[in-house]
Amino acid sequence: MDLTAQYHQMLGALLPRGPAWDADDLLLAGFAPSLAAVHGRVDALMQETDPRSVTELIDRYEQISGFPDSCAPPGVQTLQQRRQRLDAKLNLPGGINEAFYLGQLSALGYTDVIITRYSRSQFTCMSDCTDSLYSDEWRYYWQVNMPVTTQIAPMTTISNCTDSLRTWGDTVAECVLNKLAPSHTYLIFRYPE
């Protein structure tokens, strides 16, 4: 039974009992479509409460969240990318651990990212062969190994002569992580060959 017929039936059930009232009254049949339309709009509004499915209220959500920002200027992202950024900002718990940053990247659409942290110890003649070669200051560096699907664009015959021979990277992911990274750390992005 469709929603209009259900509202018609409910309105008929609300009428007082007696011979003066008819459940098939044209007035009830006229109210039912309006109530069904309001019900449909309420259902659509419930979808707007989730940043992953927002459409009509996305501008308001972005205004509250401080978007667009320097990571993605207005007009350069698709609706799905805007939803992913909102979800990453509003729904993910904060933190400064690896799981937090992987969650941020996952919300931006990168699920197979690996974060490499460098060992705090120095390599000495007594170290194992598998120990790190890095000095103590490398403990402040961490590397984000981006997935194979990251955009890599080589220079072509129709490129300008001032263009780079090859460009790569995801400026949005890099910008978001650089904003969230602790100020005393250095972030390295590694893209596949």
| Per-residue confidence band for 31, with pLDDT thresholds at 50, 70 and 90 | very high
pLDDT at residue 108 greater than cutoff 90:
no
Task: Calculate the alpha carbon distances from 107 to 84, 122, 166 in Å.
Answer: 6, 35, 27
pTM of the predicted model, to two decimals? 0.59
What is the domain partition of the chain in residue ranges? 3-14+24-48, 92-190
pLDDT tens for residues 57-99? Answer: 999 988 888 888 888 777 778 888 889 888 888 877 777 788 8
| Per-residue confidence band for 134, with pLDDT thresholds at 50, 70 and 90 | low
